[in-house]
Structure formats: C-alpha cells, structure tokens
Chains A and B, each alone.
Chain A
Amino acid sequence: MKYRHIKKWILLAAIILSGIVSHFSGGINSYYLQIIIFIGINITLAVGLNLINGYTGQFSLGHAGFMAIGAYVAAYLSTEHSAGLFRALGGPNFFSITLLFISVLIAGGLAAAAAGLIVGVPSLRLKGDYLAIVTLGFGEIIRVVIQNTDAVGGPRGYSGIANYTTLFWTYSVAAITIYVVVSLIDSTYGRGFLTVRDDEVASEAVGISTTRYKVTAFVLGAFFAGVAGGLYAHSTTYINPSGFDFQRSIEIVVMVILGGMGSTAGVAFAAILLTLLLEYLRFVSGYQWLPEIIRRIAANRVIIYSLVLIALMLLRPQGLFGRLPRRGIPIGGATKRAKLPALSA
C-alpha cells in the first residue's frame, strides 16, 4: 500500500514542479520552449500508445488519427464556443481560461475515446498485422474526413487557435498519463492487459474477457492521444490535417519501440530522445565543417530516422529499456509451455 502512496506523491510533486518551472519559463527562448512542450506532448502520446502496443500487445498504427480528433475538437470548442463562458465569468481572466482549457482538453480526449471505441470494437477482433492495417486505415479515414469538413477549414487547416498550452499543462498531462498507465498496469485489474498480451487463449480460459481488455486499452490510449492533440493544437495555434498523417503515427510507434514495448520509463525516454534528435538534425545540416553529403542527408531527416529504425530492429529489437520476450512467443501470438523444473533426486 505504501508504494501506491509514493506514486501519488511523485505525481503531485511532478505537477507542482512543472507549475514552478512554467512560472519562471518566461526567460526561455521561445523556440526551446516549443521543443520542450513538444517533448511533453510526445511523452503523453507515446505512453498512451504503449498501453495499447506494449502492454496489451495490440499493434495500432492509427494513433495520429485520435490525436487529430482531440486537436480539432478542442480547437473548435475553444475558438468557436468560448464567448459564452467568458461572458459568464467576466471576460478572459485566469480562472475562465483555466476552466475553458481543462474542459476543451477533456472534451477532445472524450471525443477521441469515443472514436477509439467505435474503431476498436469491430477491429480488435483482428490480430497482429491485420489489426495494424485496419487501424492504419481508420487513422487515414479520420484524417480524410477532417480534410473534407469545411467547418474546421478542410485542407486549409484550422488557424486562430488561442495559445493556451504552457509548460505546466503539458507536463501535468504527461505526469498524469504516466501515473494512470503505471498504476493501471500495477493494479489487479491491469494484470489482465499483460495476460492478454502474453497468451490470449490462456487468459480466455481463466475467464478474462480479452476483447474487453483490448477495447479498454484502446479507448484509454485514444483518450490520452486526444488530450495530447488538444495540447498540440493550443501550442502551435494552427493545425492542418496533413500534420496527422501516417508518418505521424509511425513517429509515435517508433518512440514506443525504441523505448521498449511495455516499459513506460523507456518509452518516455525515447520520446525525449527522438524529439531532440529530430530537432538537432536541423542544425547538423547547417554545420559548414561537415562534408556536403552528410549535411544533405541530415537535411532529409527521415532517411536517418528510417535507418535508426532498421538498425534498432536488427540489433536490439526489444528497444532500449525493454526486456526480450521469451523466445518463440510473438506479442499477441502463439503459446509455449514453460519449462518444467528438473526433478531432483
């Protein structure tokens, strides 16, 4: 029981710390501040996806779609429907903005979770790469639907979003996400996710409803993605459907895989590392002392990204922090009997 309280204190400390840092963040270069905020958003996205991909073993490739829903719903609500709230609370002051921001973030998260439920219920009957393809397709559907919705700007994107996202909000959400995922997995209920990943047949046999666990993980992951999308929209103040495409989903998946599937600390670390790496490569292309070819490759960052991906899979498929699954047991796949202990004389 004590351990649980420690986690709560850590969560509280993280939120307070991010509040303090955020309060004194006025002096930080706004470019660096933006990167720090993106790191926080990516941590939220990756940890949320890790619940689906890492802990429950359901490979989802459509996370950017849920992020898009959260971003658009939150942005639309805070831009178009904030007037009434501000009028009731006496103009845009600290209190009304805080209330508005929290409610639009949650609304975005809930919308994404609802989409996750709609997507998850039919598609989670599938396994492995079929599921990956279906979620990929749904992610694209969401993007294309947004692209053709004129109320949110369609392909022109949605601009004029207020800049509400601060360091405090980003890192509080990231801390809450980590807290929820870690406590969930540590709880009795949460062990079900792991059993679904390790052996679906056996968990069905002991009375665990695998579909229910899968859908739960999916909906929760989508919720966090939606909240992260809301943060993202209020940080960049302009969102565009093409910013939530397949490649974005791949970026989040790479964070999960680089960190190690089923390791929250590793995934958070990978989110920091990859965000920084991609930003750093921008500068590498400007270093005059480097050979021309290296600078040109660095300018085309995805080449390096893909090489990292391939090298990682060949050399350390379990990720930086992950543990290698027992040999012969693919995630969400076949069964293998545990080795019986040798009989001693």
Chain B
Amino acid sequence: MTSTEFFQQLINGLSLGAFYALIALGYTMVYGVLRFINFAHGDVFMIGAFCGYYLSPRLLPHFTGGLTPLGPVAVLILTMLICALLGVTIEKLAYRPLRQRPKLTVLITAIGVSLFLEYGGQFVFGADPKSFPELMPDRAIAGTGALTITTTQLAAFIVTICLLVALTFIVKRTRLGMAMRALSNNPTAAALMGVNIDVVISFTFAQLSIDRSAYGSSPRDQGIRCGCSRRHRKHSGRRRWRNYSRRCGDICRWLGFFNLSRRDRILAFNRDFAFPSSRNFRTCA
C-alpha cells in the first residue's frame, strides 16, 4: 500500500467514523443516563434520513439567490426538531411508564419500538431504495494533491465536531447537563436534590434524537433505503439499519463507555457499596 493510498483510506475512515461517532454519541447519552440499551436508536436515525429526503425538495426551492447555502441548514434543523419530537414521544409513551420496572422489560420494549419503527417505516415510506437529494454540491476539494477529499466528507466531519463541542458544552457547563450527570450518578439523590427526572430524561432523548437526525440528513453521496422486499433481502437496507443500530452499541462499548460525566470513582463506590439501598433504584431505572 502506497502512502497516498494509506492517507486516502485514513480520510475515508475519518469521515465515516465521524458519522458513526455521532450515532454512538446519542447512544451513549441514553446509556450513560438511563442505563438501558435503546434498540430503537438506529430506527430514529432512519426516520431522520427520511425526513431529510422528504423535506429537502419542499424546502430547498424557497432558498434561492444569496440564501442558497441556508437551504441545507434549514433542512437539517427541521429534521432535528422532528426527530427530537419523535424521541420525546417514544420516551413518553414507551419508556417512561416502565421506569420503575426491571431493566429487561425496558429492553424488550425497546426491541418492540425498534421493530415498529423499522417496519412502520417500510409500510409508510415503501420498501424500495430511494436516492437522497443532493443538499450541497459534492465535489473534490482542490489543492490536496493526489488525495481526494470531497465536500460532503468535509461537511460531515465539521458537523460532527460542532455537535460534539455543543454536546460537551451542554453536559459540562449547563444546569441541565449537571442534572443529567447527577441522574447518571444516583437517580434517587438527584431527585432528592430537586432535579426533575422526567424533564431531564426527556431532554436527553430529544438531544440524542437531534444528533441522530443530524447524521441522517447529512449530505451524503449514498442513496438511502428502508427495507426491501424479501427477494432482495440480501441487499436490503433493512439489514443495514439494523446493522447501524447494532454497530452504535458496539462503538459505545469499544469506547469503554466514555461517560458524559467522567464519573467520580468514589461516588460510584458510594453508590454501589456504601449506600447500597440506592442500587435498587439504579438497576430499575
């Protein structure tokens, strides 16, 4: 492998990795705060992609002339809002009533929600692959020598970095972020301190849905698909979504649960050993 090839693959890997990081980020938000595996993660991401698909032909014509660059941003923001709404709705309808139940119950519900979104999406959007509209001109950036860096790759990378910074800011510097970290550490104590658990959890869901949709509607050069007939199952996007859904979980683990809070070991010790009474709540939450 020549060095050019190596750096080319490195760039490709970085841009694709940026996408995955964005998904895993949302995933770790839920896992970090609520401690349960959200199987429906990849499916909300799918909804985000389809929002982008249906919104852009309707929104982009309104942005002409000097406003043209704002078009994709508008699509992105609207998609984020829709997905946030979806995330909150799912949390409210499916997960909130189960907060006090065993973790397994929530896990199974999450599988149910995932299947529902997946096949519901196939029902509503149809099973045929759709090609995603071009949100921004996709061309190689000049002046990189033998290497090819496309504008979409760059955009994906920049969007990911921006969202990462924004998320870190929210978690580390705002009141809400502090509440989230508190909740992750010890839900009972957090509630005693006057943190409204429901609001925080809803917000977490909204936020991660935002991240996901950002990925979903990022300008990409690939077509999007949702499911396929059984005949074409091998190439079906359905499997792909499911793979995404699973891959996020893997990435999250590979990162060693990089927790939002950089959790204090002593606090963790207190939680699990010194004040074991809080454990019940924890395993249920």
- Checking B106, B115, B246, B280 against A309 with a beta-carbon cut-off of 8 angstroms, the contacting residue is B115
Taking the nearest CB of chain B, how far is it from the CB of A254, in angstroms?
Answer: 8
Q: Contact at B103–A129, with CB atoms within 8 Å?
A: yes
Q: Contact at A250–B115, with CB atoms within 8 Å?
A: yes
Q: Contact at B119–A334, with CB atoms within 8 Å?
A: no
Taking the nearest CB of chain B, how far is it from the CB of A35, in angstroms?
Answer: 19
In the complex, residue of chain A having the shortest beta-carbon distance to the beta carbon of B101:
A317
Expressed in whole angstroms, the Cα–Cα distance for A181 and B253 within the complex equals 35
Expressed in whole angstroms, the Cα–Cα distance for A225 and B279 within the complex equals 35
Q: Contact at B101–A310, with CB atoms within 8 Å?
A: no
- Checking A242, A314, A328, A331 against B97 with a beta-carbon cut-off of 8 angstroms, the contacting residue is A314
Taking the nearest CB of chain B, how far is it from the CB of A135, in angstroms?
Answer: 12
Taking the nearest CB of chain B, how far is it from the CB of A7, in angstroms?
Answer: 30
**Interface residues in B78-109 (C-beta closer than 8 Å to A):** 94, 97-98, 101-109
In the complex, residue of chain B having the shortest beta-carbon distance to the beta carbon of A325:
B102
Partner-binding segment picked from A26-34, A63-71, A280-288, A296-304: A296-304
Residue A336 at the chain B interface, CB threshold 8 Å: yes
Q: Which residues of A contact B279 (CB under 8 A)?
A: 334
Q: Contact at B102–A309, with CB atoms within 8 Å?
A: no
Residue B249 at the chain A interface, CB threshold 8 Å: yes
Residue A10 at the chain B interface, CB threshold 8 Å: no
- Checking B112, B280, B282, B283 against A307 with a beta-carbon cut-off of 8 angstroms, the contacting residue is B112
Expressed in whole angstroms, the Cα–Cα distance for A155 and B239 within the complex equals 15
Known: A155-B234, A242-B233, A333-B283. A306 touches B105 (CB 8 A): no
Residue B6 at the chain A interface, CB threshold 8 Å: no
Q: Contact at A296–B123, with CB atoms within 8 Å?
A: yes
Residue B182 at the chain A interface, CB threshold 8 Å: no
Q: Contact at A129–B37, with CB atoms within 8 Å?
A: yes
Expressed in whole angstroms, the Cα–Cα distance for A136 and B247 within the complex equals 12
Q: Contact at A310–B112, with CB atoms within 8 Å?
A: yes
Known: A300-B122, A302-B119, A307-B116. A328 touches B280 (CB 8 A): yes
Bitwise interface map of B from 28 to 68 toward A, beta carbon under 8 Å scored 1, else 0: 00000000110000000000000000000000000000000
Q: Which residues of A contact B284 (CB under 8 A)?
A: 328, 330
Expressed in whole angstroms, the Cα–Cα distance for A253 and B111 within the complex equals 11
Q: Which residues of A contact B214 (CB under 8 A)?
A: none
For chain B, the count of residues having a C-beta within 8 Å of the partner chain is 36
Q: Which residues of B contact A297 (CB under 8 A)?
A: 123
Q: Contact at B112–A133, with CB atoms within 8 Å?
A: no
- Checking A136, A300, A333 against B123 with a beta-carbon cut-off of 8 angstroms, the contacting residue is A300
Residue B120 at the chain A interface, CB threshold 8 Å: yes
Q: Which residues of A contact B116 (CB under 8 A)?
A: 303, 306-307, 310
Expressed in whole angstroms, the Cα–Cα distance for A93 and B108 within the complex equals 47
- Checking A253, A313, A329 against B98 with a beta-carbon cut-off of 8 angstroms, the contacting residue is A313
- Checking B108, B109, B115 against A302 with a beta-carbon cut-off of 8 angstroms, the contacting residue is B115
Known: A250-B115, A303-B119, A305-B115. A314 touches B98 (CB 8 A): yes
- Checking A310, A334, A336 against B109 with a beta-carbon cut-off of 8 angstroms, the contacting residue is A310
Known: A155-B234, A302-B119, A334-B280. A310 touches B113 (CB 8 A): yes
Q: Which residues of A contact B233 (CB under 8 A)?
A: 242
Bitwise interface map of A from 308 to 345 toward B, beta carbon under 8 Å scored 1, else 0: 01100110010000000100111101101000000000
- Checking A136, A155, A313 against B105 with a beta-carbon cut-off of 8 angstroms, the contacting residue is A313
Q: Which residues of A contact B114 (CB under 8 A)?
A: 306
Expressed in whole angstroms, the Cα–Cα distance for A303 and B227 within the complex equals 13
Expressed in whole angstroms, the Cα–Cα distance for A314 and B123 within the complex equals 24
Expressed in whole angstroms, the Cα–Cα distance for A297 and B112 within the complex equals 16
Q: Contact at B112–A253, with CB atoms within 8 Å?
A: no
Q: Contact at A306–B119, with CB atoms within 8 Å?
A: yes
Expressed in whole angstroms, the Cα–Cα distance for A51 and B214 within the complex equals 43
In the complex, residue of chain A having the shortest beta-carbon distance to the beta carbon of B252:
A133
Q: Contact at A303–B112, with CB atoms within 8 Å?
A: no
Residue A105 at the chain B interface, CB threshold 8 Å: no
Residue B181 at the chain A interface, CB threshold 8 Å: no
Residue B220 at the chain A interface, CB threshold 8 Å: no
In the complex, residue of chain A having the shortest beta-carbon distance to the beta carbon of B246:
A136
Q: Contact at A306–B112, with CB atoms within 8 Å?
A: yes
A-B contact pairs, 16 of them (CB 8 A): A129-B37, A132-B107, A133-B37, A242-B233, A257-B108, A302-B115, A306-B112, A310-B112, A313-B98, A313-B109, A314-B98, A330-B284, A331-B102, A331-B104, A333-B103, A334-B282
Residues of chain A at the chain B interface (Cβ within 8 Å): 59, 128-129, 132-133, 136, 155, 242, 246, 250, 253-254, 257, 296-297, 300, 302-303, 305-307, 309-310, 313-314, 317, 325, 328-331, 333-334, 336
Other contacts beyond A129-B104, A303-B119, A317-B105: 8, CB < 8 A: A128-B283, A155-B234, A300-B123, A306-B119, A309-B109, A330-B103, A331-B104, A333-B102
Q: Which 6 A-B pairs rank lowest in CB-CB distance, beginning with the nearest?
A: A309-B112, A330-B102, A306-B115, A306-B116, A310-B112, A302-B119
